[in-house]
């Protein structure tokens, strides 16, 4: 098609559009600001409606308030937020802001709209229908009306046929409810498309056809706790999570088109399809902004064999977009936005893609929580050392923060403190640290969360969430990290400070000569004796360790049903296992090498270890072997002991002696690879790849101080992300209305 024809066609389309009043529809999304209870019992509703279309988006369809329950229905403004800058003018998005007053004694309120004219599509769907249904009860957990899940998409989503495997959608709930996604009941589901209910990810179940496909998703939120809803006429309804037939508190529909392009030779990200780089926030991140203050969102992408020409944005009105290209096929965008007062306490969705003339990156989406209060700065520091991640919070900058109610992602890890700071130290493999691929970097991420005691009914403490990370360039070999033995497993617990365990293989029963990490893999003949030792190092003296269990599994999953107990409940279970007398903080043992019967060539050993104060007569360490497993609830005050921590060694790989068939029957070898992290899920990606000569010290000993925002009110939510060369720091001061996480009275 030459340009003239295109223009003509577009012109016709445009004219047709205007004359019929119904623009070509590419999809839409609805986002609600927090509902307001007015004194007269009515409810103030304001919502934004993002509608996607072709060429010109000056028009937007009107949504109607169900049953004529709305008064003061006001479409305040409609503005185009983003458009295709190329000649094709293939897509655009508008956002309209509407306010209304809802006056009803009903439990629900609905908003709906429909019109003709989906863009021509494989499903031959013509009419679209938009819908949102909101429960109007006051929640007993937040003392406010429910908030709907927040979602949106960019106007134009396209992916080559052979590269389509999944599209992650945004499904964020401001009340932290469970959000479930499903195809809308009235939708025509394109063949070979599926939706993952929990993660809200569109997936393929086979090859999808080329062309445009209509996707209509319903998002529904379900509180995770039993709550009561109180309605305007005074009646209350108890909602138990155990009741399977509960209706969602809100349902809101998301509609969009996915254009499946013809196949390409390579689906490798960063080749012709742009790949996001580490400057870009992760999908699902919650960022922070305050009313009247400019907020900036940065994204960076790279495509080596094509040219990034733009970023497509789904965002609120009056965003500005600054696009810049860099070297080596990179490009970045800065989106600037100044939230207005009607955005206060709303979660505002943003989605973006990097665009080449033909292709598109994955879609990333984040939400921006807007607060009204000016921000108080707090201070936090993350140090990234070889295999160690250390987070330090300055207490003075976060008044009222209490480390006794803080835990890391793995709740068996807590934090310690001195007079001025709260500290947590962990290794890259402990305390729930996860690995995330950021494109050009990898990040080890963890978070600090506050928790409530199980029997506590009312929480007056601040709610804290602090994300932190250590980021490393991907080109460098991370495996170097895990061979640094002396710091293999590090934990922090309040009352115990930081402590570490290392788990070694020794050459003989003197337990002096470690099997050198440079000499790995170590070969041991089957039935030979293997000498292993666990040693603890602790900031506090007068402690002892207790190995409660050790079990062998054929893979990294310590929960594997195929397992063999060496020690259980503190009792020796394997007759070849022998424990050597040693210092209180050392546990040395020997065991005969074995393998699992069947087609398993690996053995991993995972032990659970507890550290106790030596003087504590009722500690688990003092109890020793017990017949029955005890359900230990931690009683920090009576018996001073740490939580149970898991440390692992392995794998031992059984190998045949090369060239020897006979070797199969009794001379199998145990080959030991480098120490692997305990948490198998955390390290799913290929960590051994990339052999770089990497000066660990040089890169990681730099300490980075960042500014963190903290709260002076009831509710606090803090976020940090820190890396070796990239620091992003966000935080927030929040007042009680903002996040309905704490209770007020």
Ligand X SMILES: *[C@@H]1O[C@H](CO)[C@@H](O)[C@H](O)[C@H]1NC(C)=O
Residues near ligand X (CB under 6 A) are 103-107, 225-226, 231, 233, 235, 240-242, 317-318, 340, 392, 418-421, 423, 513, 516, 518, 661-662, 664-666
Q: Are 13 and 30 in contact (CB under 8 A)?
A: no
What would the two tokens of residue 239 be? Answer: 């909602």
Q: Which is nearer to ligand X, 129 or 342 (CB)?
A: 342
d(CA 18, CA 743): 51
Nearer to ligand X, 581 or 665 (CB): 665
Nearer to ligand X, 143 or 657 (CB): 657
Query: Contacts from 21-24 at CB under 8 Å and sequence distance 24+?
Result: 21/59, 22/61, 22/115, 22/116, 22/117, 23/53, 23/54, 23/56, 23/57, 23/59, 23/117, 24/53, 24/54, 24/117, 24/118, 24/119
Residue with Cβ nearer ligand X (182 or 318): 318
49 or 556: CB nearest ligand X: 49
Nearer to ligand X, 297 or 442 (CB): 297
Compare residues 262 and 518 and give the one whose CB is closer to ligand X: 518
Can you tell me the distance from the alpha carbon of 738 to that of 286, in angstroms, rounded to the nearest whole number? 14
Q: How far is CA 540 from the centre of its chain?
A: 34
**Rounded least distance, CB 69 to ligand X, Å:** 8
Smallest distance, Å, CB 40 to ligand X?
10
- Shortest distance (Å) from residue 36 CB to ligand X: 17
- State the minimum distance, in angstroms, from the CB of residue 424 to ligand X: 11
> Which of 110, 192 has the CB closer to ligand X?
110
Output the smallest distance, CB 557 to ligand X, in A.
Answer: 28
Instruction: Please give the Cα distance from 78 to 61 (Å, whole number).
Output: 10
Is the CB of 105 or the CB of 165 nearer to ligand X? 105
Q: With respect to ligand X, which residue has the nearer C-beta, 205 or 233?
A: 233
Q: How far is the CB of 667 from ligand X (least distance, A)?
A: 8
> How far lies 14's CA from each of 118, 157, 383, 384, in Å?
15, 21, 57, 56
Q: Are 700 and 680 in contact (CB under 8 A)?
A: no
Locate 703 and state its tokens. Answer: 């300490």
CA distances from 662 to 225, 259, 598, 602, 669 (A): 61, 59, 17, 20, 13
> DSSP of 127-152, one letter per residue?
-EEEEEEEE-PEETTTSSBPPPPB--
Shortest reach from residue 339's CB to ligand X, in Å: 9
Instruction: Give the shortest CB-419-to-ligand X separation in angstroms.
Output: 4
3-state SS string for 23-66 = CCEEEEEEEECCCEECCCCCEEEEEEEEEEECCCCCCCCCCEEH
**Strand order, beta sheet including 376-385:** 416-417, 421-427, 388-394, 376-385, 703-710
CB of 623 to ligand X, least distance (A): 31
Q: How far apart are CA 106 and CA 691, in angstroms?
A: 64
Tell the smallest beta-carbon distance from residue 514 to ligand X (Å).
Answer: 7
């Amino acid at each position: 098609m030459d340009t003239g024809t295109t223009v003509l066609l577009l012109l016709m389309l445009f004219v047709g559009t205007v004359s019929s009043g119904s623009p070509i529809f590419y999809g839409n999304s609805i986002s609600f600001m927090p509902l307001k209870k007015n004194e007269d019992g009515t409810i103030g509703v304001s919502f934004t409606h993002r509608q996607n279309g072709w060429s010109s988006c000056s028009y937007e369809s009107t949504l109607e308030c169900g049953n004529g329950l709305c008064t003061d229905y006001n479409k305040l403004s409609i503005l185009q937020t983003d458009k295709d800058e190329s000649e094709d003018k293939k897509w655009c998005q508008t956002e309209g802001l509407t306010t209304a007053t809802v006056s009803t004694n009903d439990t629900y309120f609905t908003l709906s709209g429909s019109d003709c004219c989906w863009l021509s599509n494989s499903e031959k769907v013509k009419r679209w229908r938009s819908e949102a249904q909101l429960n109007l009860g006051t929640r007993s957990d937040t003392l406010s009306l429910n908030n709907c899940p927040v979602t949106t998409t960019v106007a134009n989503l396209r992916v080559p046929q052979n590269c389509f495997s999944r599209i992650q959608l945004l499904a964020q709930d401001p009340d932290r409810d469970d959000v479930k996604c499903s195809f809308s009941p009235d939708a025509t589901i394109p063949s070979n498309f599926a939706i993952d209910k929990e993660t809200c990810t569109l997936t393929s179940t086979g090859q999808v056809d080329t062309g445009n496909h209509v996707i209509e998703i319903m998002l529904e939120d379900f509180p995770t706790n039993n709550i009561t809803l109180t309605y305007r006429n005074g009646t209350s309804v108890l909602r138990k999570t155990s009741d399977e037939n509960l209706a969602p508190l809100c349902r809101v529909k998301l509609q969009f088109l996915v254009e499946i392009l013809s196949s390409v030779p390579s689906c490798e990200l960063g080749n012709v399809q742009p790949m996001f780089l580490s400057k870009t926030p992760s999908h699902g991140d919650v960022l922070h902004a305050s009313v009247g203050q400019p907020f900036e969102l940065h994204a960076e992408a790279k495509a080596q064999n094509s040219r990034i020409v733009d970023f497509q944005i789904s965002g609120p009105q009056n965003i500005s977009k600054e696009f810049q290209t860099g070297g080596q096929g990179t490009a970045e965008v800065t989106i600037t936005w100044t939230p207005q007062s009607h955005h206060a306490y709303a979660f505002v969705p943003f989605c973006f893609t990097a665009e080449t003339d033909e292709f598109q990156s994955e879609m990333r989406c984040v939400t921006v929580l807007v607060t009204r209060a000016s921000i108080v700065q707090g201070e936090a520091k993350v140090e990234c050392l070889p295999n160690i991640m250390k987070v330090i919070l300055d207490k003075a900058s976060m008044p009222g923060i209490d480390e006794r109610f803080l835990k890391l992602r793995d709740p068996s890890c807590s934090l310690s403190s001195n007079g001025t700071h709260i500290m947590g130290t962990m290794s890259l493999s402990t305390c729930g640290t996860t690995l995330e691929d950021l494109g050009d970097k990898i990040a080890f991420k963890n978070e600090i969360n506050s928790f409530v005691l199980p029997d506590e009914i009312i929480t007056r403490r601040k709610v804290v969430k602090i994300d932190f990370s250590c980021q490393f360039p991907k080109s460098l070999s991370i495996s170097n990290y895990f061979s640094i033995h002396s710091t293999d497993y590090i934990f922090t617990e309040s009352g115990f400070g930081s402590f570490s365990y290392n788990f070694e293989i020794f050459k003989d029963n003197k337990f002096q000569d470690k099997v050198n990490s440079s000499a790995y893999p170590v070969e041991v003949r089957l039935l030979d004796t293997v000498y292993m030792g666990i040693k603890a190092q602790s900031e506090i003296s007068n402690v002892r360790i207790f190995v409660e269990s050790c079990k062998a599994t054929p893979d990294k999953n310590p929960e594997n049903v195929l397992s063999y107990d060496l020690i259980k409940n503190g009792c020796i279970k394997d007759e070849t296992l022998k424990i050597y007398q040693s210092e209180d903080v050392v546990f040395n043992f020997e065991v005969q090498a074995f393998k699992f019967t069947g087609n398993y060539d690996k053995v991993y050993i995972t032990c659970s270890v507890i550290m106790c104060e030596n003087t504590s007569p009722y500690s688990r360490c003092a109890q020793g072997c017990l017949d029955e497993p005890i359900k230990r609830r931690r009683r920090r005050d009576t018996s001073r002991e740490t939580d149970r921590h898991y440390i692992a060694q392995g794998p031992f790989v059984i190998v045949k002696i090369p060239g020897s068939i006979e070797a199969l029957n009794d001379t199998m070898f145990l080959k030991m690879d480098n120490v692997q992290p305990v948490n198998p899920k955390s390290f799913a990606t290929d960590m051994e790849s990339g052999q770089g000569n990497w000066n660990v010290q040089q890169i990681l000993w730099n300490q980075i101080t960042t500014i963190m925002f903290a709260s002076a009110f009831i509710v606090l939510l803090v976020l940090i992300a820190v890396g070796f060369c990239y620091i992003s720091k966000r935080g927030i001061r929040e007042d009680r209305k903002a996040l309905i996480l704490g209770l007020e009275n």
